[in-house]
């Protein structure tokens, strides 16, 4: 007999849902992601140009303001000093975020689907909201490493409530950079926070409140999955992914859900709803 979702999540810090999406549904999302590559506005590249001396601050401002927009984030080395592409458009993007779930019909359909609502209901959510979403490319040979982190570092709530939905749009293997987890690490709390810098005199708009912890590589368990699989990710479980060194893409669509009933979303978090608005409620 399979354990309940809550029991599985509390045991390992993640839950694997095979066949969460049908093949044709995966194709629809992946095609939408491919189209985003071709639609990326040229002006978005200038933010990542190394010519501008305020480059880092411009990047942070671009990032902070992406919460209610569809914005494009490029792979390191995809642009030259002038912001011109040096790779094919389909290989240039690292990710697109962070409002696909509200501003794009295809991603909105799958984020607010009956399946997602059912999972959240089984997890005990009363009034879940979706603060952000991302299309992650992890392209062949250029898809960058994602360092060990916890989602709660970026989307902190009290009490803990954040759950990530990570949907594989290709087979995710060790070779192309599947997710890797430290099982049980969610039981050790949030190790550090990524927040809006309280120091108004600093050039850094965003900052970490503590140095990065060191996690031995041997502690991580690779979790290869087939396309259409959804991995539920506890906000405190430590996870990472290697660079894609293969010749196969590893696209994924991911979004996060938080509880809003009796739960406080930190005002220090980098991502904040636009003034006068709130994050969209999943059940409405």
Taking only the tens place, the pLDDT of each residue in 118-130 is 999 999 999 999 9
SS3 at position 60: helix
Residue 141: pLDDT over 90: no
Residue 50: pLDDT over 70: no
SS3 at position 271: coil
Whether a cis peptide bond, with omega within 30° of 0, leads into 109 is no
What is the spatial distance between Cα 165 and Cα 183, in angstroms, rounded to a whole number? Answer: 17
- Dig out the tokens for 35 from the structure: 């189209």
The b-or-e profile of 8-23 (16+ CB within 10 A means b, else e) is ebeebbbbebeebbee
83 within a domain of the structure (yes/no): no
131 or 245, greater pLDDT: 131
Q: Domain of 121: which CATH number?
A: 2.60.120.620
At 60 the pLDDT is 87
* 257 beta partners: 163
* 195 beta partners: 207, 269
Terminus-to-terminus CA distance in the chain, angstroms? 32
246 within a domain of the structure (yes/no): yes
The pLDDT tens digits for 162-185 are 999 999 999 999 999 999 999 999
At 55 the pLDDT is 64
Residue 1: pLDDT over 50: no
At 54 the pLDDT is 52
- What domain range is 256 assigned to? 5-31+95-265
The pLDDT tens digits for 102-121 are 999 999 999 999 999 999 99
The pLDDT tens digits for 74-98 are 888 788 888 888 888 999 999 999 9
The pLDDT tens digits for 192-246 are 999 999 998 988 999 999 999 999 999 999 999 999 999 999 999 999 999 999 9
Query: What is the percent of the chain where pLDDT is above 90?
Result: 79
At 42 the pLDDT is 83
- Dig out the tokens for 60 from the structure: 């942070």
At 135 the pLDDT is 98
280 within a domain of the structure (yes/no): no
Count of domains observed in the chain: 1
173 within a domain of the structure (yes/no): yes
Question: HSE on the CB side for 124, CA within 13 Å?
Answer: 9
At 53 the pLDDT is 44
26 within a domain of the structure (yes/no): yes
At 143 the pLDDT is 82
253 within a domain of the structure (yes/no): yes
Residue 186: pLDDT over 70: yes
Residue 49: pLDDT over 70: no
Chain centre to alpha carbon of residue 49: 24
132 within a domain of the structure (yes/no): yes
With beta carbons less than 8 A apart as the criterion, state whether 200 and 180 touch: no
If you average pLDDT over every residue of the chain, what do you get?
93
Residue 2: pLDDT over 80: no
């Amino acid at each position: 007999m399979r354990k309940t979702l809550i029991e599985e999540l509390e045991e390992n810090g993640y839950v694997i849902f095979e066949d969460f999406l049908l093949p044709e549904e995966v194709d629809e999302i992946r095609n939408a992601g491919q189209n985003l590559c071709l639609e990326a506005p040229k002006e978005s590249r200038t933010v990542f140009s190394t010519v501008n001396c305020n480059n880092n601050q411009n990047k942070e401002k671009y990032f902070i303001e992406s919460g209610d927009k569809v914005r494009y984030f490029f792979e390191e080395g995809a642009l030259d000093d002038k912001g011109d592409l040096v790779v094919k458009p389909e290989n240039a993007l690292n990710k697109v975020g962070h409002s696909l779930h509200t501003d794009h019909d295809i991603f909105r359909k799958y984020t607010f689907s009956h399946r997602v609502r059912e999972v959240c209901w089984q997890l005990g959510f009363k009034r879940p909201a979706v603060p952000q979403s991302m299309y992650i490319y992890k392209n062949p040979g250029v898809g960058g490493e994602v360092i060990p982190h916890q989602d709660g570092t970026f989307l902190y709530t009290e009490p803990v409530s954040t759950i990530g939905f990570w949907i594989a749009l290709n087979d995710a293997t060790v070779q192309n950079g599947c997710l890797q987890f430290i099982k049980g690490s969610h039981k050790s709390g949030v190790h550090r926070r990524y927040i809006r810098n309280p120091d108004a005199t600093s050039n850094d708009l965003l900052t970490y409140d503590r140095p990065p912890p060191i996690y031995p590589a041997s502690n991580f368990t690779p979790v290869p999955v087939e396309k259409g699989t959804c991995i539920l990710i506890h906000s405190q479980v430590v996870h990472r992914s290697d660079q894609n060194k293969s010749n196969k893409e590893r696209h994924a669509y991911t979004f996060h859900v938080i509880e809003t009933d009796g739960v406080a979303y930190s005002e220090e978090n980098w991502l904040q709803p636009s003034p006068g608005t709130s994050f969209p409620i999943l059940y409405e």
